[in-house]
Amino acid sequence: MLSRKSFRPAAFALALGLAGLAPTAQALNIVLTDVGATPMSAAQLGAFQAAANYWSGKLTDNATVYVNIAFSDLGPNILGSTGSNWDTINYSTLRSRLATDAKSATDALAVASMPTGSAVSFWATQGDLTTRFDNDGSTNNKLLGINTANLKALGVDPGTNAGNPDARIEFANAFASDFAFTRVNGGVPANKIDFITVAEHEIGHALGFVSGVDDIDFCVSNAAQCGLSGAANQFESDWWYYPLDMFRYSAAGKRDLTLGGSPYFSVDGGLTSIQPFSTGEEHGNGWQASHFGPNVLTLMRPFVGNGQSYDASPSDLMAFDAIGWDLATAVPEPSQYALLIGGLVAVGLARRRKRD
């Protein structure tokens, strides 16, 4: 339990630029510990604390989440990377915990969309890149991975602490001078990357915005590195997916954990498409599946552009609500959400036409 099972942690990419406040009195407490070889500056620590305070103001769970933070050498065009402590949970236990924790309309729909019993069925990519409806009740249907921070939202104490944290978030020291660590009038300079936005995004991964589709994506082409045989059925005898994957659909009634395609976040069994998901870095749309799609401005999309400064959208918050976190302020009910999204898109198109 030292890191995510993921062979590559969720990363926030740089795509459009380079080719604080006191903690609020909320139940969620995020404890940050700087473990970098070079200590962060006061401005950097303040920006990270502002991001942690943002989530503390949005989520009301009585939980303390421990996060180690650092500036490190990361890959090309990667702003931040999150590795999370994880555990496993039986599918039936997850559903039961979510039902017990349910407080919102989103929660009620999300639980109702999850079948009762010990196993969950879904469409999945096989080791030979074919797809099939996986309903055979194997280990991958009965057992899920779950970030320890997400377990805390469900009332489970995984025993983490400052010495054994829930996550480690690293930022690219190569881009340290390109970050803006304070927001002026709610924004940042056009030639800077908003550190608070990136930190909020990475904390989101630590809190549970992850997908096992990324692990499948990598291991299909790297079976030996993943300790697998390369056979079509190589994913059956272990766990691969996470709570958020239970709300990944491509049509009404079609829970879709395949690579590629057009999956979207839904809490009502696929009837309502709330937000598209990304579909895989190697065998999908080029972006890690542990993100929303790249074409709509959400906190959990896979990139941030220079001069952009924003927090979580209603779609982001609804996703965290569905996997067990409790929101301080309710978002629109899912039945109204499609209309809201339609309205926002229409407004966005009107503004674009006017700007053109």
Domain boundaries, the chain: 10-355
What are the respective helix, strand and coil percentages of the chain, to the nearest 5?
30, 20, 45
Its pTM stands at 0.88
State pLDDT tens for residues 188-203.
999 999 999 999 999 9
State pLDDT tens for residues 303-355.
988 999 999 999 999 999 999 999 999 887 666 565 544 444 433 333 322 22
State pLDDT tens for residues 81-115.
889 999 999 999 999 999 999 999 999 999 999 99
* Residue bearing tokens 């924004």: 187
Q: Report the distance separating Cα 19 and Cα 25, nearest Å.
A: 41
How many C-beta atoms lie closer than 10 Å to residue 214's C-beta? 28
Question: Which regions in the chain score pLDDT beneath 50?
Answer: 1-8, 12-25, 340-356
Q: Report the distance separating Cα 200 and Cα 278, nearest Å.
A: 19
